[in-house]
Structure 1
Amino acid sequence: MKSTLYQGKKMLAQLLSGCIVGFSLSCQNEDPPPPFSLEERYFSDSTGLYLPGDLEATLWAESPQFFNPTNMDVDSKGRIWVTEALNYRLFRNDPEKFNHHEKGDRVVILEDTDGDGKADRSKVFVQDEDLTAPLGISVIGDQVIVSSGPSIIIYTDENGDDIPDKKEVFLTGFGGLDHDHGLHAVVAGPDGKYYFNAGNAGPHIVTDKSGWTLRSGSLYNGGSPHMKDNRPGMVSDDGKVWVGGIALRINPDGTGMKVLGHNFRNSYELALDSYGNMWQNDNDDDGNKGVRVSWLMEGGNMGYFNPDGSRRWQADRRPGQSTVKAHWHQDDPGVIPMGDSTGAGSPTGVAFYESDLLGKKYRGTLLAGEAGRNVILAYQPEPMGAGFRLKRHNLISSLSDEEVEAAQSRTTGEDKTKWFRPSDVVVGTDGAIYVADWYDGMVGGHRMIDSTGYGRIYRITPKGKPLPKPKIDLSTTEGQIAALLNPAVNVRNAGFALLAGKGPAAVEAVKKILTDENPYHRARAIWLLATMGPEGITAVERQLKADNSHLRITAFRALRQAKSDFLPHARQLSSDPSAAVRREVALALRDLPQNQVEDIVITLASQYEGGDRYYVEALGLAMEGKEETIFPVLQQKLGGDPLSWKPGYADLIWRLHPSQAIESLKERALSLELSAAERQQSVAALGFIPDQRAVDAMQEIAASEVLGINERALWWLRYRRNNEWNAFSMQIPEMQATISPEIQKEMLAWKATLESSSAPKSEKVKAAKAMAADRIGGIMLLALAEKKVLSEEIMAEISSAIFQNPEQATRVLAEDYFTRLNKPASLSVPDIVALEGDPAKGKLVYQGKCATCHRIGNEGRNIGPDLSMIGAKLDQQGLLDAIIHPSAGVAFGYEMWMVTLKDETVAAGFLQADGPIVVLEGMQNEAYNIPSEAIAFRKRFGRSIMPEPAELNMDEADVAHLTAYLEGLNSEGS
C-alpha cells in the first residue's frame, strides 16, 4: 500500500508541476515550486487536523478535482458545489506564472457516488468569463446562485442535467470586482427570503427588480462600476445613509431589497439560524488585532467608518482608547457591540449547526472559518441581556492545543500552522461538516503565492459512526418535511417552498413539527406556518406565549413579515420578561410614526436599567428620527432632575443625544456629585450633537476647573472642529490655527521659477535641485511632475537628486515620475530561502530598518501596519513576498495621497477623513486638516511607500534574519 500511495503522490505532483490536460489551465515549465512539500502537505496518511476526541476528519476531495475553493454549498442530492478562484487578481498575480482558466472561473460539482466517504466524481457545472474569483455559491431548488462582483448571477438548470439552461443577472452594481471585499454568498433564510452581504469595496449602487435603489459609499473604492460616483453620505431610496460593508435581504423574485446592517469592513459570509438570527465575522485593518465574530442586530451600524463613511477610525480615536475599541467605534452611540474580538487573522466562511447528528452537544454551534489562524472557531451563543455572549474555542485546527502554545513561542523551525487555510465551512445533508481548504501563504490580500491553485475538502463526522447520505423525495409532503428538517440550510428551502405552496392543505402536517424536541425544527415550522393562511397564522400567534424565548422571538419576527398590523403583538410582548424579546419589539418600531408607537416605546424604555448596550441600541433604532419629539415625553415619564437620572435613562439620553438635553448634559458634566464616568458620558453625548448650543456648552466645560472633564472637553472641541462642528463658531485655547502644511517661502519661490516661461534653464535646474533636497519641496516636485509642467530636461536633472530626498515616501513615490539610475538589484528569493535566519539578528534588522514605520509591541512607530502578530498570519513565503514586493498589495488606509491646494501649497499623507475637512496623516505623524473647498487637485498613489529591501541597504542575509524574527511573532510583541 505504501508503494501504491507513493506512486499516486508522485503522479499528482507531476501533474501539478506541469500542464493539467482537460482543465483549461495556463502552465509553464518554469513555474516556481509550491511553497510547501506536496507529499508532506497533501499526502500524509492522516489529515493532520486536530479536533475533539469524539469527532474525526477525513479527506473528502482534493485537487485536481477542483482548484482554489472560495465557497461551497450542498444540494438535495448531498453533492458539494464549489466556486473556484483560479483567476484571482491576475492583473497583479502574473498569469504567466500562475495556473488560470482562460475562459473564466468555474463552478464544480463534487459527489461521493459509492458512499465510501470520498468524492469520486467531479464535473464542471459552468465556466463563464463573467466569473472572476467568485466568492459565493448557493444551490436553491433548480437555481445556482453565484456571487461574482459586480453581479449576483443565477444559472437555472431546468431539466436537472447539471448543465445551465438559463443565465440571469439577478442584481448588479456592487463594488468588489475581483476583490476580497466584494459580494459574498446568498443564503436562504428560514422565512424563504434570500440573505447576503458584500464587503466595503464600494460604492454599491444597486437597483432591485421593483426599482428600489441602494447607494452605499465610503472612503474606500474597490473595483466598483460606480467608482467615479463614490462619495460618503450617499442616500438610498429608504432615505437612509448606508456605509461600507452591508447585509441585505431580498425576495426570491428580486423585489423588496432591504438593508439589515452596515458599516462592516469585510464580513466574508452571512449565516442565519432557524430563529432568524444573523451571524457573521469581519476582518480588521491588518495588524490591529481587531478581527471579530458577531451577532448582527437588524439595522445595526457595526462601526468601521464614522456614520456617513467619510472618516476612518484613526481620525476618530479618542485619548486613551484601545485600538480595538477605536477600530470599531465601540464607544460611539449608534454602534452595535462587536461580539467576540478574536485578535489577528483572516476570517472566512461561517455556518450554524442545528442538527443532532454529530451529537446533541454540537446542536446550536456557530462555526467560523479563520484562514489567518488556521482554525475553525466554534461558539454556542448564550443569551446575554438583549444580545449574546460568544465564548470561543477551537473546533478544528492544524495543531493540538499543546503545539499551538509551543508554536507561539517558536523562534526556529518549520511552521506547520500555515498548512490549513479554511475558506469555507458548510453542513451537509448527512449532518457532516465539510471544510474547504484553500492553501496560500498570503491568505488573500490581493496576492497569491501557490501557483498550482491547490485545495482540499475535509469531512468531519462522529468518530466511528457512519453518516449516510439521506435520500430526499420532494414529491411527497413527508419528503418535503424531511427536507425542511434537513441539516443543510439551502436544502431546507426546497421543503419550505413546496410546503408553502400547498398552503392550508399542509398546515396540519407542519403543525406536528411544533412538538419536535429540537427547537430549531419548531422554529422552521413557525416561519412556514406564517405563510399558510389564517389557520397557520393562529398557530404562530399561540407561539408568542411559548416557554422558549427564542421561539417567542421567532413567532414575532414571522408575524411581523406576514401581517401589516403587527403592533398588537408588539404591545403584547413589550413587557416580556426577556430583554431579547423586548429588543426585537423595539427594532420593529423603527420608521413607524411616533403617534402609533409612543406608548410601546415608553414601556420598553421604562424597563431598561442600564448596562446593556444591545438593549439601548435597539431603543435608539426604535426612536430614530424621533429623538427631539419624543424627548419631552421621556423626560416627563422617566427623567426628572438631571443629577438624579437613573443609569438606564442616562444611557438612553447618551444614545439619543437630543439637542433639548444640552443644558442637562452640561449640568451633569460639571457636577461633582456624579462619578467621573457619568461626567465623561455627558461630555461624549454633547460631542455628538450638531448644534451651536452644544459647542457653547462644551466651551464652558473646557473653561471650567473640573479637572479631567475640562481637558476632555477641550479635546472634543479640537476634534469636532475638523468635522461635524466645522461650520460652528468656537474659540479654543491654544488651538493651532494652521490647517495646511508649513511651506517654506523659498520653496514657493523655487516653484515659481520652475513654472516661469522666462527663467533661464540654469535657474530652473538650481531651483529643481533645491526643492529635490527638501522634505516639502520634494512633494511639491511630485505635484509638478503629476501636472506635467516640467520639461524632459528638468526631469532628467532632478532624477539624480530626488532619490536622495530626506523623506522616504518621496524617494519611493518618485519612481512614478522619474527615472532612477543605478537602482539596486532585487534580492534573490532562492538565496534567501537557502539561508538559515537568526531571529535575534532579525530583531536588530527590524530595529534598524523597519521600526521607523512599523510597530511591534511597544516598539516602533504607527506609520505602516502593526507587525506584532504578523507571524500568526503569514508564513515564510508570505513574509518574503510582502517584504520584497511591497507594492504588490497595498493595504487599505496605507495608500499615500498627495493634495495640492489652491494657494499652491502641497500636503502628502494617509487619508483619514474626507468631508468638509480633509484630514491627512503625514509621515511624521503630523495631521493636515484641509478645508475641501481649498483643494485644487488630489492624487492617490498605487505604490507602497515601503522601499524594497535593497534600497534600504539590506542583503539576502538581512531579509532571512528579519523573516525568521517576524515568523515568531504570534502575540503582542512576542
Structure 2
Amino acid sequence: MKAFGAKALPAVSEILRDKNPYIAARGVWLLPYLGDEGVARAKALLKDANPSQRRLAFQALRRAGNDVISIAAELATDVDVAVRRDVSTSLHAVPADKAVPILVTLAQRLDTSDKNSLAAFGIGSAGKETAVWPAIKSAMVKSGPESWSPEVERIAWVLHPADAVAELAARSTSAKLSQEQRALAVETLSFVETKEAALAMINLAVDGSPVKSEATRWALMRMTGFWSAFDIRTELKNAGVYDAAKIVVSPIVVPEAPKPTYTVQDVLAKTGDATRGAQLVQRCTMCHQVSGNGPAYGPELRTFAARQGRDAVIVAMVEPSASIALGYEGSTITLKKDAGMIDGRLLSANDPMVIISTGGVTQLVPKDRVAGKAEKMTRSLMMSAEQLALSAQDVADIAEWLVNYK
C-alpha cells in the first residue's frame, strides 16, 4: 500500500476504521506516505482526544521523515505525560538552537517523580546540556541555588552540567536544605566529569562538612573511575580525607537475634498507641531516619511505612530477616590477621572498600587488609525488636505512629 501512495487512501481508510486498535494503528503508520492528504490526516490525529492516537501520529510522522519541530513545540504542552516523553526523546538529534526552547517548555511541565520522564528529558538534552542548563535556570530559577525547586534539582541531576559545579557545592553545604537535598546535590556533582567537580567533592569530604560521608564515598568511587586522570588519590591524601597508611579499621558485627518471646501475631492483636510510639521510635534513629533525624543506614521509616503498611512494619521489627528491603542487604568483610569482621551495607567494592554499619558508621577499608571478597549475609543487618528491648506493645505503638505519621 505504501508503494501506491495517495491511491491507497481508500483502502487505508478502511484499515483505520478496524475495530481492532492494533490493526487500525497500521493505517496510521501508512498515512504520512500517502501524499499531502495522507500527511494532513496524520496531522489531524495530533489533536485526537485519545493520547495514544496523538503519540502514534507523532511517531508516524517522524518515521516518515517529516519535519516535526513545529509539531514537537505544540505537543510539548500536551496534557499527557507519555506524549511529552515522546517529544523529549524526539529532540535527541535536533540542534540546540531549535531544541532548547522546546526542552524548556517540557521542563516546566516535567513530572520529576516519573523516572521515565526524567530519562526521556535526559535523552532529548544529550549533547546540548551546556545550552539547556542556562535556559532552564533563566526560566525556572528566580534567585540562588538554594531556591531551586524539586523539579530544577532533578533536572540538574539529569543534566549534571559542568557549569553547575559551584551551585551544586553550595547546595551540598546549605543549612537551609534537608539532608536528602544536600545528598542529591553531592550525587549530582559526582556525575560531572571535570577536575573542578573532583576538587569540589574533596572539599565536601573534609571534617565538619554536613555531607562528609556522602562526599567521601563518591570521591572514592570516582577515584578509580572517570576522575582517575585528575590524581584524586593524591588530592584525597593531601586533604586528609583518605590515606591508606593512616586508616584505622574497627570490627563491627551484628549479633544474631535470640529466639523471640512473642510473635508477629501477638503484636497484630494489640491496639497501638501512637503517642507512645512517637517516643519509642527514637530508638530506631540509631539506624533509620525519622523526621530528618538519624543516619541513612536503613530505610527511611516514614516512607517505608507509607508504602508497606502496618503489617509489614511489624514483621520487619519482629522478624527482620523474614523480608529484607531491596538495596539494604548486608555483607561481611573479613579482615586479615584475625582482626575481626565488619557487617554492613557494602557501598563500594573498590579500593578502598566502603561499608556502612550499625549506627551509620562508615569505614574505608584498604583492600590489602581484607581476606578475600565481601560475602553476602543470609540474615538482616537490622536488630530485632527484642534486641532493642521493645515489647510486643512497644512494637504495636511504634507501628501505629509510623502509619499515621504525616
- TM-score band by shorter chain is 0.5 to 0.7
Displacement of 1:720 in angstroms is 3.5
Matched with 2:114 is none
Aligned residues of 2:317 and 2:385 also touching (Cα < 8 A): yes
Identity among equivalent positions (%) equals 18
Aligned residues of 2:213 and 2:362 also touching (Cα < 8 A): no
CA distance in 1, matches of 2:268, 2:46: 66
CA distance in 2, matches of 1:508, 1:895: 57
Matched with 2:42 is 543
CA distance in 1, matches of 2:259, 2:310: 25
> Which has the larger Rg?
1
Q: Number of aligned residue pairs: give it.
A: 349
Matched with 1:938 is 374
Displacement of 1:938 in angstroms is 1.2
Q: Which structure 2 residues correspond to residues 561-576 of structure 1 after superposition, within 5 A?
A: 563=63, 566-571=64-69, 573-576=71-74
CA distance in 1, matches of 2:269, 2:347: 40
Aligned residues of 2:28 and 2:56 also touching (Cα < 8 A): no
Aligned residues of 2:201 and 2:219 also touching (Cα < 8 A): no
CA distance in 1, matches of 2:380, 2:395: 19
Matched with 2:248 is 742
Aligned residues of 2:264 and 2:314 also touching (Cα < 8 A): no
1:508 to 13, 26, 43: 13
Higher strand content, 1 or 2: 1
2:359 to 920, 924, 929: 924
Q: Which structure 2 residues correspond to residues 194-205 of structure 1 after superposition, within 5 A?
A: none
**3-state SS, counterpart of residue 530 of structure 1:** helix
Q: Which structure 2 residues correspond to residues 370-389 of structure 1 after superposition, within 5 A?
A: none
CA deviations on 1:800-827 (whole Å, 9 max, x unpaired) are xxxxxxx6x1x218xxxxxxxxxx6542
CA distance in 2, matches of 1:543, 1:886: 57
Say if 1:684 and 1:606 are closer, same or farther in 2 by CA, change over 3 A.
farther
In the alignment, structure 2 segments of 5+ residues that lack a partner are 1-7, 111-116, 146-151, 171-175, 177-181
CA deviations on 1:45-70 (whole Å, 9 max, x unpaired) are xxxxxxxxxxxxxxxxxxxxxxxxxx
Displacement of 1:948 in angstroms is 4.9
CA distance in 2, matches of 1:882, 1:742: 33
Matched with 2:395 is 962
Aligned residues of 1:887 and 1:944 also touching (Cα < 8 A): yes
Matched with 2:59 is 557
Matched with 2:108 is 612
Q: Which structure 2 residues correspond to residues 481-492 of structure 1 after superposition, within 5 A?
A: none
Residue 892 in structure 1 maps to residue 336 in structure 2: no
Matched with 1:690 is 193
CA deviations on 1:364-387 (whole Å, 9 max, x unpaired) are xxxxxxxxxxxxxxxxxxxxxxxx
Matched with 2:179 is none
**3-state SS, counterpart of residue 347 of structure 2:** strand
Matched with 1:602 is 97
CA distance in 1, matches of 2:90, 2:118: 14
**3-state SS, counterpart of residue 343 of structure 2:** strand
CA distance in 2, matches of 1:843, 1:950: 16
**3-state SS, counterpart of residue 222 of structure 2:** coil
**Paired residue type of 2:405:** E
CA deviations on 1:646-669 (whole Å, 9 max, x unpaired) are 4489989985556xxx5x557889
Q: Which structure 2 residues correspond to residues 298-447 of structure 1 after superposition, within 5 A?
A: none
**Paired residue type of 2:359:** Q
Displacement of 1:548 in angstroms is 1.6
- State the superposition RMSD in angstroms: 5.5
Displacement of 1:691 in angstroms is 3.2
Aligned residues of 2:274 and 2:401 also touching (Cα < 8 A): no
Q: Which structure 2 residues correspond to residues 716-727 of structure 1 after superposition, within 5 A?
A: 718=216, 720-726=218-224, 727=228
**Paired residue type of 1:966:** A
CA distance in 1, matches of 2:203, 2:241: 20
Residue 908 in structure 1 maps to residue 343 in structure 2: yes
Displacement of 1:716 in angstroms is 8.3
CA distance in 1, matches of 2:188, 2:388: 48
Aligned residues of 1:507 and 1:536 also touching (Cα < 8 A): no
1:812 to 256, 267, 289: 256
CA distance in 2, matches of 1:830, 1:620: 45
CA distance in 1, matches of 2:108, 2:123: 15
**Paired residue type of 1:737:** Y
Displacement of 1:891 in angstroms is 2.0
CA distance in 1, matches of 2:265, 2:211: 57
CA distance in 2, matches of 1:647, 1:582: 18
**Paired residue type of 1:587:** T
CA deviations on 1:533-576 (whole Å, 9 max, x unpaired) are 8559963653224562745433022345xx4xx33343453543
Say if 1:617 and 1:648 are closer, same or farther in 2 by CA, change over 3 A.
farther
Aligned residues of 1:665 and 1:682 also touching (Cα < 8 A): no
Aligned residues of 1:871 and 1:967 also touching (Cα < 8 A): no
CA distance in 2, matches of 1:670, 1:865: 26
Aligned residues of 1:907 and 1:928 also touching (Cα < 8 A): no
**3-state SS, counterpart of residue 404 of structure 2:** coil
Aligned residues of 1:526 and 1:540 also touching (Cα < 8 A): no
CA distance in 2, matches of 1:866, 1:670: 25
CA distance in 2, matches of 1:832, 1:735: 52
CA distance in 1, matches of 2:290, 2:186: 34
**3-state SS, counterpart of residue 323 of structure 2:** coil
Displacement of 1:621 in angstroms is 0.9
CA distance in 2, matches of 1:894, 1:902: 25
Aligned residues of 2:288 and 2:296 also touching (Cα < 8 A): yes
Q: Which structure 2 residues correspond to residues 20-39 of structure 1 after superposition, within 5 A?
A: none
Displacement of 1:603 in angstroms is 1.0
Higher helix content, 1 or 2: 2
**3-state SS, counterpart of residue 375 of structure 2:** strand
- Ranked by relative contact order (alpha carbons within 8 Å, sequence separation 6 or more), the top structure is 2
**Paired residue type of 1:926:** V
Say if 1:507 and 1:910 are closer, same or farther in 2 by CA, change over 3 A.
same
The two structures have a TM-score, normalised by structure 1, of: 0.29
CA distance in 2, matches of 1:623, 1:699: 25
**3-state SS, counterpart of residue 567 of structure 1:** coil
Aligned residues of 1:854 and 1:860 also touching (Cα < 8 A): yes
Q: Which structure 2 residues correspond to residues 726-875 of structure 1 after superposition, within 5 A?
A: 726=224, 727=228, 728-730=230-232, 731=235, 735-737=240-242, 742-743=248-249, 776=251, 809=254, 811-812=255-256, 826-827=260-261, 829=263, 832=266, 839=273, 843=277, 846=280, 852-854=286-288, 856-857=290-291, 863-868=297-302, 870=305, 873-875=308-310
**Paired residue type of 1:573:** I
Say if 1:900 and 1:959 are closer, same or farther in 2 by CA, change over 3 A.
same
Say if 1:867 and 1:558 are closer, same or farther in 2 by CA, change over 3 A.
same
Aligned residues of 1:909 and 1:920 also touching (Cα < 8 A): yes
Displacement of 1:921 in angstroms is 0.9
**Paired residue type of 2:330:** M
CA distance in 2, matches of 1:898, 1:720: 21
**Paired residue type of 1:900:** T
In the alignment, structure 1 segments of 5+ residues that lack a partner are 1-502, 514-520, 591-596, 672-676, 703-710, 745-775, 780-806, 814-823
CA deviations on 1:462-502 (whole Å, 9 max, x unpaired) are xxxxxxxxxxxxxxxxxxxxxxxxxxxxxxxxxxxxxxxxx
Displacement of 1:898 in angstroms is 1.1
**3-state SS, counterpart of residue 392 of structure 2:** helix
Aligned residues of 1:920 and 1:928 also touching (Cα < 8 A): yes
**3-state SS, counterpart of residue 929 of structure 1:** strand
CA distance in 1, matches of 2:158, 2:362: 30
CA distance in 1, matches of 2:396, 2:263: 12
CA distance in 2, matches of 1:951, 1:577: 57
CA deviations on 1:239-282 (whole Å, 9 max, x unpaired) are xxxxxxxxxxxxxxxxxxxxxxxxxxxxxxxxxxxxxxxxxxxx
Aligned residues of 2:344 and 2:357 also touching (Cα < 8 A): yes
**Paired residue type of 1:937:** K
Aligned residues of 2:45 and 2:57 also touching (Cα < 8 A): no
CA distance in 1, matches of 2:394, 2:202: 56
CA deviations on 1:661-701 (whole Å, 9 max, x unpaired) are x5x55788999xxxxx9xx99998764322335435x3899
**3-state SS, counterpart of residue 736 of structure 1:** coil
Q: Which structure 2 residues correspond to residues 96-495 of structure 1 after superposition, within 5 A?
A: none
Displacement of 1:909 in angstroms is 1.2
